[in-house]
């Protein structure tokens, strides 16, 4: 018997064994234990990231900086952090699939159910068993469960817990399972034996930096979220900045390129959890269908999926950019039907798409539409697009 959050060595080993067994039973592919004091350097990197404005419009990163940088500020009583990995790997490599086929690419992680609640529910189950077992033996145990949205630096914690390393892509990569996995944590007041931290295994590889379509990985281990297509298609609310539109290609929600190219994914397994295995209708859906979605149809198609979070208008913005990149003239009519949409973000993207599909058709409309348009940004699309139309270049920026 022991007191407070300090179990005896034998009991601690038993509790860790219980967590490992439960994690395996519930479909996790790995678990490790981190010391809450282990990520001080990461906290300093994060402060610099925010200072340089690399978080873009994700104001919550700056607002929660202190808590995010140090788990002990988030919860003073925390003594150990259990970090869990959950596979969501696609069946085939997204970079090897067909492209340029009039369809849009949704990131592998978003092709079925939202992972947040799924993983949180399972972590709560594990936490409940851990706490009950600790208390049964007279050891006090409080805990909190976090997945993604809490101010927690999950990747550095995964490294401290020996699960993976924070790689050049800035993602956590594992020697055993590659990089297609989510992270989640249980903070506990229990003193548990910590795992051996992982070290980097990127070596001289630079594939993720080379493949990134927007040079968002500005140096090894450093990302500028404002350039990342995942940020631009999901987090960013306004128009996609012109310089990134062509680079978006057919990506309509997130981007997988830096993961897909990583050689460590030869060890990755396809998702086993049914709720994360891709729904057929979310694997390369037809742009022609997506561009016709009204709000109700959008909600129905993406019920339970992470895509639903960005709302129909932001999603249509992405679809229209993909159409503008498709060279598929048969979509001109659908694009024209979006030119008078209530949302400026949709009207602006439609204007750009029209300019890309038919410079002549749209040069005819540009002057009238620019004059009639009540939103300054959308009006600017017509003026800029008119220039594209006149040069006939189609333009990328
Ligand atoms: C903000 C955020 C984003 C932002 C910023 C991305 C980023 N790399 O941080 C955007 C919107 C761009 C994004 C995109 C994606 N995300 Co995201 N995101 C997050 C979130 C909420 C916070 C991450 C964070 O704190 N970033 C700030 C930076 C500074 O922190 P950091 O990268 O951990 O910092 C380390 C390194 O960058 C490095 N570093 C920084 N500066 C320097 C300087 C030098 C010199 C050195 C050596 C090192 C160094 O040191 C730091 C500590 O180790 C986490 C969830 C969470 N709570 O942690 C998910 C999370 C990172 N995302 C995830 C996923 C899946 C994605 C996407 C793959 C989704 C997609 N398919 O579109 C992409 C991948 C893009 C990419 N290359 O990272 C997963 C990643 C799982 C994994 N295996 O790593 C997470 C963990 C969510 C989860 N719970 O599973 N994401
Ligand atoms: S997700 Fe795409 S855009 Fe973002 S860093 Fe990776 S490759 Fe670049
Ligand atoms: S692609 Fe290469 S450099 Fe990038 S994370 Fe994977 S191993 Fe590291």
Stretch (H or E) spanning 183: strand 181-188
Is 101 part of the annotated catalytic residue set?
A: no
Rg of the chain, C-alpha, whole Å:
24
- Residue 6's pLDDT is 75
217 strand-pairing partners? 223
Strand 105-106 versus strand 217-219 pairing type: unpaired
- Residue 8's pLDDT is 86
- Residue 390's pLDDT is 42
85 strand-pairing partners? 30, 183
- Residue 358's pLDDT is 95
The alpha carbon of 283 and the centre of ligand 3 are apart by a number of angstroms equal to: 25
Q: Where are the domains of the chain?
A: 9-100+109-188, 207-258+281-391
Task: Provide CATH code, domain 9-100+109-188.
Answer: 3.40.109
With tokens 């790995």, the residue in question is 30
Dump the DSSP string for 219-278.
ETTEE-GGG-HHIIIII--SPPPHHHHHHHTTEEE---HHHHT-GGGGG--B--SGGGSP
Minimum-distance ligand to the CA of 154? 1
Task: Kindly tell me if the per-residue pLDDT of 395 is higher than 50.
Answer: no
Residue 305 vs residues 268, 280, 282, 374: alpha-carbon distances, Å: 23, 13, 10, 34
Nearest CA to ligand 2 atom 6: 258
Task: Kindly tell me if the per-residue pLDDT of 69 is higher than 80.
Answer: yes
Per-residue pLDDT tens over the stretch 234-280: 999 999 999 999 999 999 999 999 999 999 998 888 888 988 999 99
Task: Kindly tell me if the per-residue pLDDT of 228 is higher than 80.
Answer: yes
Task: Using most ligand atoms within 8 A of CB, pick from 213, 243, 245 the residue to mutate for ligand 2.
Answer: 213
Residues 6+ apart with CB under 8 A from 126: 19, 22, 23, 26, 84, 186
Index of the ligand 3 atom closest to the CA of residue 211: 1
Confidence of residue 97 (pLDDT cuts 50, 70, 90): confident
The reported pTM is 0.95
Per-residue pLDDT tens over the stretch 174-226: 999 999 999 999 999 999 999 999 999 999 999 999 999 999 999 999 999 99
In the set 70, 142, 148, 191, the catalytic residue is: 148
Task: Kindly tell me if the per-residue pLDDT of 392 is higher than 80.
Answer: no
The predicted model gives 71-75 an average pLDDT of: 97
Nearest CA to ligand 1 atom 19: 148
286 strand-pairing partners? 103
Residues 6+ apart with CB under 8 A from 132: none
Per-residue pLDDT tens over the stretch 306-322: 999 999 999 999 999 99
Dump the DSSP string for 339-351.
TT-SSHHHHHHHH
The fraction of the chain above a pLDDT of 70, given in percent, is 95
Per-residue pLDDT tens over the stretch 136-161: 999 999 999 999 989 999 999 999 99
**Alpha carbons 21 and 13: distance in angstroms, whole number:** 12
């Amino acid at each position: 018997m022991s007191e407070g959050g300090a179990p005896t060595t034998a009991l601690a080993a038993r509790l860790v064994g219980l967590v490992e067994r439960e994690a395996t039973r519930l479909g996790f592919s790995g678990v490790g234990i981190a010391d809450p004091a282990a990520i001080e350097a990461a906290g300093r990197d994060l402060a610099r990231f925010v200072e340089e404005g690399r978080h873009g419009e994700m104001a919550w990163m700056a607002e929660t900086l202190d808590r995010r940088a140090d788990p002990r500020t988030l919860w003073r009583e925390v003594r150990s952090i259990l970090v869990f990995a959950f596979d969501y790997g696609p069946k085939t490599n997204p970079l090897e699939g067909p492209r340029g086929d009039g369809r849009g690419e949704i990131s592998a992680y978003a092709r079925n159910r939202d992972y947040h609640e799924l993983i949180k529910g399972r972590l709560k189950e594990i936490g409940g068993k851990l706490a009950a077992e600790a208390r049964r033996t007279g050891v006090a145990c409080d805990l909190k469960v976090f997945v993604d949205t809490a101010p927690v630096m999950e990747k550095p914690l995964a490294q401290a817990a020996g699960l993976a390393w924070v790689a050049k892509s800035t993602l956590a990569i594992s020697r055993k399972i590659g990089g297609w996995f989510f992270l989640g944590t249980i903070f506990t007041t229990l003193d548990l034996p910590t795992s051996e931290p992982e070290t980097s295994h990127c070596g001289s590889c630079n594939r993720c930096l080379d493949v990134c379509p927007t040079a968002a990985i500005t140096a090894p281990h450093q990302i500028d979220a404002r350039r990342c297509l995942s940020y631009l298609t999901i987090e960013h609310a306004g128009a996609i900045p012109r310089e990134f539109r062509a680079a978006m290609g057919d990506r309509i929600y997130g981007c997988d390129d830096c993961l897909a190219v990583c050689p460590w994914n030869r060890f990755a397994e396809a998702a086993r959890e049914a709720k994360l295995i891709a729904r057929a209708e979310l694997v390369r859906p037809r742009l022609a269908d997506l561009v016709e979605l009204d709000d109700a149809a959008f909600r129905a198609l993406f019920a339970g999926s992470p895509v639903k979070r960005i709302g129909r208008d932001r999603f249509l913005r992405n679809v229209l950019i993909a159409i503008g990149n498709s060279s598929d003239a048969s979509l001109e009519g659908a694009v024209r039907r979006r030119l008078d949409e209530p949302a400026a973000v949709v009207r602006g993207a439609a204007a750009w798409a029209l300019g890309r599909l038919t410079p002549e058709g749209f040069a005819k409309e540009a002057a009238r539409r620019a004059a009639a348009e009540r939103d300054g940004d959308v009006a600017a699309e017509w003026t800029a697009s008119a220039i594209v139309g006149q040069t006939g270049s189609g333009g990328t920026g």
